[in-house]
Structure 1
Amino acid sequence: MEYKGSSAYDEEPFFQQYISRRTRHNSPNNLIESPIFMKLLDEVNEKVVLDLGCGDGSFGLELLNLGCKLYVGVDGSENMFKLARVKLKGTNHKLHHCNLETFDYPVNQFDIVTSRLVLHYIEDLEHVLGKVYQSLKIGGQFIMSVQHPILTSSSKSTEQGEKRTDWVVDDYFISGRRVEPWIGEKVVKYHRTIEEYFTTLQKAGFIIENLHEGAPDRRFFDSQEEYNRRKRIPLFLIVKCRKG
């Protein structure tokens, strides 16, 4: 069976394995994506933030602890929605259980919109980015991270297992649907080149201010070996934009 969007997270065995992987200390999400994302993020104190693909609410809690005025999270997974509701209890937040394509984006409401490692699951990215742009106040920030296009281009590397020593890049300029084996299931993703992400953001109206490919920082790694391994290819693409 192939899972689209957030549907895989509502399969209990997959969900439990994902949570175990995601919370491990040496997760590249924690060691690479998170430090860069937080560095690019605007000051959140007294800001209204929309988070697309809020997961279990951990990022929302972090933003609220930094002074976020209101945190609005959206996620299509019922399991993630339930976890987020518990984690954010007693805080100033709103949660929506729906997918990003059908979410009713309010106009000119948010100071910041974030999306972390979700948009490569979205087929009609142009539609979603257009809605994101409309939902931001003038001057508002949109910051997104996705799996790097080198990884989404081909699933052959994933089929080799966890501790692979080389990576296959293939069909890079053939955009579109990919089916990737992940945690014992088949997950649907959508491959786009860096250029496509850039031009789709521009078409939506965004001013692109910064772009990172997730170069690792030695300070965050306990192991020199793991640091050296993570320098070999980029894992993430992180883009900072502004509504002009």
Structure 2
Amino acid sequence: MGSDDCKYAANHGALEVVGIDLSHKMLEVANKVNHDARIKYRQSAIEEIDFSTDSFDIVFRSLALHYISNFEELVKKISKSLKKNGELIFSVEHPLFTSSGEQDWSYDENGNIRHFPVDYYYYEGAREVNFLGESVIKYHRTVTTYLMTLLNAGFELTNVIEPKPPIEMRELEEMKNEMRRPMMLIISAKKISR
């Protein structure tokens, strides 16, 4: 959980919250900005989590799992740490958005947007992309892989959402093209087996 997510959970009835981040600096800021006795921060890579069996009611992670190379292994670890009927809620960059690795529109000779490139969709794996001026590795998976990995790990899907801008924002200049392709995918699932 990000620090704001941790504070939200604590403010809405969570008795104990664990926030994980790889960055020591981010954890210092989180502890300072969202300090709460119910929140424990741990420095760890997401894929290195190792919590006791049946530790959590909810596991939540936003826009981080597309940086993890072995999604199946992570889902197994999360399943182990969740209580029966516990929920996993996460968002990732949409597989149509990550497929080509470009993550930018295709433009015509006048700089006008033609379309969003979708390419190599079924070829899962690492994509080197430019994110905020830095080269980073993201891992592309198909929608099928995300969903079937959860189902095969004993989860029941409870919701799948491809968020789009609300109607009142669609006329804003910066939102006009956001209805042309999905950018995010949100999935929630309930652990139904031990």
TM over 0.5: yes
Deviation track 1:144-198 (CA, whole Å, cap 9, x = no partner) reads 110000111112343879x983311110000001100111110001000001101
2: CA distance between counterparts of 1:183 and 1:222?
24
Partner in structure 2 of residue 30 of structure 1: none
Does residue 1:196 correspond to 2:181, yes or no? no
Q: Which position in structure 2 is the counterpart of 1:176?
A: 125
* Number of residue-to-residue matches in the alignment: 188
Q: Does 1:96 align with 2:45?
A: no
Cα shift at 1:90: 3.3
CA contact (8 A) 1:211 1:237 kept: yes
Partner of 1:174: helix, strand, or coil? coil
1:236 equivalenced with 2:184 (yes/no): yes
Q: TM-score, with normalisation over the residues of structure 1?
A: 0.71
Q: Which has the higher helix share?
A: 1
Of Structure 1 and Structure 2, the greater strand share is in: 2
1:87 partnered with 2:46: no
List gaps (5 residues or longer) in structure 1: 1-50
Note if contact 1:139-1:242 (Cα within 8 Å) is conserved in structure 2: yes
Residue 62 of structure 1: aligned partner: 8
CA distance 1:144–1:164, change in 2 (3 Å): farther
Quick one: which of 78, 81, 86 aligns to 1:140?
86
Deviation at 1:121, TM superposition (A): 0.3
Superposition RMSD in Å: 2.1
Correspondence list, 1:108-187, <5 A: 108-158=54-104, 165=113, 166-187=115-136
**Which has the larger Rg?**
2
Percent identity for Structure 1 against Structure 2 = 34
**Does structure 1 retain, via aligned residues, the 8 Å contact 2:97–2:183?**
yes
User: What is the SS of the residue equivalent to 2:127?
Assistant: strand
Structure 1 segments of 4 or more deviating over 6 A? none
Matched, 1:206 2:152: no
